[in-house]
Structure 1
């Protein structure tokens, strides 16, 4: 009887939340967490029915080496934008009036992708913050750089629904004594975005310098890790925190 009551409550709660509120209402845990995203909104059905969902647990001993993959390339010029606390994540979005966009190419990518945003995922007490796991291990944080396929699509909104529309570059973050200077630019303003809805500007961020000093990476075809879980993302996981 308890299971039936909970089920009715869950459906009632989903019906109560208007369609206009979906983007604000979802979370990463509880009855509005990933297990229920596909039930909350019909447009998010890939979250429960998809076959190439991200994030994943990466098993190093099962990876295959591809000698034909190229090096990852990001343009060297810097970007400015706004860091926003969405209530679910901290998200940096590049200024819309940017004249010099950063292009992402190489690796497994057959097209050029235009950098658009950074998602920052971190845990409490410096542990279990990353979305992707390595051999079951969760890093304290994960920085995800997203770009859209500028050769086939006009913007991120269009590309996220389309084949090969999105690239996600994942940087695992480990706590240490020598922080990355570009990462420090981001973390230094965290105190200004402690609450949902808060914004703060970030100026002159070098994405190329944000990447770890390595040419090695793992890649797979998956999905966005937030609703609607579209399976249009080429993931590149850099192998050095």
Structure 2
């Protein structure tokens, strides 16, 4: 899939199922689970044949002296939905950063519990994916790991606005404080990967924060109860990829 089409895929990927003709069903359990994704739809063959797939276990990164991510956080219109796959917030360019001389703008962010990526074998109770795109349609995902600890005010705002019904889209009346979802130290691991859901398109730049943020045990429990099942894709082989920090 061409990079310019990736944004359309991402924006529609987790959207509520409102089409008259339902799309191919996929899930994290049973016949629609990750090991079957590549066989469910001909356009999803990358899910089983791709060589640069995500998530991965981040081990033995190469020291590339990458500078900390300089991300500009804004506050604009947002909506929230629990679509059965994830809890997702759709935004309007809420943050941006420069990467490889390209400006990347946030399109949406969502959550996985437990985490999809691992760091030195460690699984985290929650992982947030902030999906950004540049003007050419190329994607960069900023991933943030959460550990149990102090209550997170941004998570509180998200959970307080979570619609009661599946696939209901709720407008957020107040902008979220996204800074609470990012660590103060924004150094990261970088690798080339893919979407972690069908169609598993590759050519996605991953920036996984080296430091994490916290949420309370009760907040984590509310996330788990809202999703009703784990929504993490299994680890994928590196196939010789280099991880840089």
Please indicate the TM-score interval, normalised by the length of the shorter structure. Answer: 0.7 to 0.9
2:41 counterpart residue number: 41
1:122-147 deviation digits (Å, cap 9, x = unpaired): 2xxxxxx1111122221111111001
Q: Secondary structure at the match of 1:174?
A: strand
4+ residue segments displaced more than 3 Å: none
Q: If the length of structure 1 is used for normalisation, what is the TM-score?
A: 0.73
Structure 1 residue 79: deviation in Å? 2.7
- Partners of 1:200 and 1:109 in 2: how far apart? 35
Higher relative contact order (CA 8 A, sep 6+): 2
**8 Å contact from structure 1 (residues 22, 41) kept in 2:** no
Q: Which runs of 5+ in 2 are unaligned?
A: 1-19, 213-245
Q: If the length of structure 2 is used for normalisation, what is the TM-score?
A: 0.72
- Partners of 1:118 and 1:146 in 2: how far apart? 6
Q: Which runs of 5+ in 1 are unaligned?
A: 1-18, 123-128, 153-158, 160-164
2:123 counterpart residue number: 138
Q: Secondary structure at the match of 1:120?
A: strand
Point out the structure with the larger helix share.
1
Equivalent pairs counted in the alignment come to 192
Which of 100, 111, 119 matches 2:110? 119
1:77 counterpart residue number: 74
1:1-241 alignment runs, 5 A limit: 20-22=21-23, 25-59=25-59, 62-67=60-65, 69-94=66-91, 98=92, 101-106=93-98, 108-122=99-113, 129-150=114-135, 152=136, 159=137, 165-176=138-149, 178-190=150-162, 192-193=163-164, 195-202=165-172, 203-241=174-212
Structure 1 residue 103: deviation in Å? 4.4
Q: Secondary structure at the match of 2:201?
A: coil
Q: Secondary structure at the match of 1:75?
A: strand
Query: Relative to 1, partners in 2 of residues 1:183 and 1:73: Cα closer, same or farther, differing over 3 Å?
Result: farther
